[in-house]
A = this chain, B = another copy of it.
Amino acid sequence: MTRPKLAVIFYSTYGTNHQIAEAAAAAATEAGAEVRLRRVAETAPEDVVKGQAAWAEQLEKMADIPVATPEDMAWADAYFFSAPTRFGVVASQMRAFIDTLGPVWQDGKLAGKAATATTSAMNAHGGQEATLLTLYPTFMHWGSILVPPGYTDQAIFEAGGNPYGYSAKAGEFDDKGRAAVAHQARLLVEIAGKLIA
């Protein structure tokens, strides 16, 4: 099998989606992918971030992770996205990154890539499904091949049974979540591997 190139693109304010992204990157690497773990740039004003200790600390914690660029998207064979909900849609930091992809999209560099996503929300039903369902149309504009997990593994049921992609309650990413994310990442790598074979 040709080794698929995977871009794990995430945004995290307090750490949950950072943890998910690290788990996905680790599982994908183990499954044979070449992985780039990338955080999208923070777009909130510096004083807002610094005004919340937990937010500033998380940003500090991610300081060594490269910031995602359009080139990462062009490079990759597959995408694993993770970002928290903001009223049912991924955080605007992620949308800001997405909005920079016009040129690579026009060059056809996003088409035909395998793609999947995960998210987090404060409430059990406070956007855990919606946030993925309002993100996937974007992947469709790119001509992505979508790889939602469905119910293809027992780990999915145990982590809440989200067929669109794993979703965490904010701050509560646990071993069950880890297993579901690992499955989703391995599935993505498997499909990406077939697409580029």
Contacts and interface: CB of A to CB of B under 8 A. Distances in A.
Contacts of A137: 87-89, 127, 130, 133-134, 164
A129 B125 contact: yes
Interface of chain A: mostly helix, strand, loop or mixed = loop
Count copies of this chain in the complex. 4
A14 interface: no
Interface in A78-107: 86-89, 91-92, 95-96, 98-99, 101, 105
Nearest to A128: B125
Contact of A123 (B43, B162, B194): B162
Contacts of A144: 148, 150
Interface in A124-151: 124-130, 133-138, 140-151
A163 B143 contact: yes
A168 B122 CA distance: 18
B98 A86 contact: yes
A161 interface: yes
A70 interface: no
A123 B92 contact: no
A52 to B, nearest CB: 11
